[in-house]
Amino acid sequence: MSGAGRSTAANTLEDLGWYVVDNLPPSLLPRLADLASRTAGSVPRMAAVVDVRSLAFSLDLRAALEDLAGVGMTVRTLFLEAADDVLVRRFESVRRPHPLQEGGRILDGIQAERRLLEDVRGDADVVLDTSALNVHQLADAVRRAFDEAASHGVRATVMSFGYKYGLPVDADLVVDCRFLPNPHWVPTLRPQTGQDPDVRDYVLSRPGAREFVDRFSDVLGIVTDGYEREGKHYATLAVGCTGGKHRSVAISEELARRLRAAGAEVTVVHRDLGRE
């Protein structure tokens, strides 16, 4: 999405040693790849920032990606997005119109772009919601997804969240642990979080908690194996409870521990911890 941080992502990839081309029409992607293939390996990794102002954007992009995959290139798509109100504020702060605004409101351009990019977002390998990220946090997220180690296995982000603050829009998998008793109603546990041993032990000792973690860990093993076969190297698992303070935090930490024990590289993010 325009305004979601494409320039920051491009600069980060350039810092990682990628050859980056900005505002490239999708139809030129195969030609760029062909030129790179003639450099005797001096350009092993390329990144292209594509622009929605091409009227045939989505059709051109899909055809170009199929062409690249057809000649044996490993292709990954990063989709950056943010909430409408965040994008409006960003455009207003720089006093620039949205590229699809066409004389209307900024919001009109944003909504037109969302419709145009629906299929692209659905096919993307990595989706990052930058609504709550500053430029440094976005750069760190891009580095985690695309540095040299990202080509080996699936790198997982386990994110706890509170349903009362909304679903994470960049999650690949979402699980709900509100079926477990809430430590919020235990006076001695209320001020603590799921990172504290007392809360963790309370949550994991409730009926069904261990069974849930055991079975869902098995499911994650099946899913990550499938992601690897499909060339998807970055996945976000969101674990939700009411406020994102107790149950989801404890369950996220336990799932992350098990994923690491299975050899996965895992980052844990507690989105709403401290928000209440």
pLDDT tens-digit profile, the chain (276 residues): 999 999 999 999 998 888 999 888 888 888 888 888 887 778 888 899 987 765 555 567 888 888 888 887 888 889 999 999 999 999 999 888 898 888 899 999 999 999 888 888 888 888 999 998 889 889 888 888 887 544 456 788 999 999 999 999 889 899 999 999 999 999 999 999 999 999 999 999 999 999 999 999 999 888 888 887 776 777 899 999 999 999 999 999 999 999 988 888 888 999 999 887
pTM of the model: 0.63
C-alpha distances out from residue 9 to 5, 55, 77, 233, Å: 6, 24, 12, 17
Q: Between β-strands 234-241 and 155-162, what pairing exists: parallel, antiparallel or unpaired?
A: parallel
The rounded distance, in Å, linking the Cα atoms of 43 and 62 is 23
Bridge partners (DSSP) listed for residue 127: 79
Q: Between β-strands 173-176 and 234-241, what pairing exists: parallel, antiparallel or unpaired?
A: parallel
- In the chain, the amino acid numbered 193 is T
Nearest in space to 91 (alpha carbons), one of 70, 106, 103: 106
- In the chain, the amino acid numbered 203 is V
Nearest in space to 72 (alpha carbons), one of 35, 34, 120: 34
| CB neighbours of residue 270 within 10 Å | 22
| CB neighbours of residue 62 within 10 Å | 14
| CB neighbours of residue 65 within 10 Å | 19
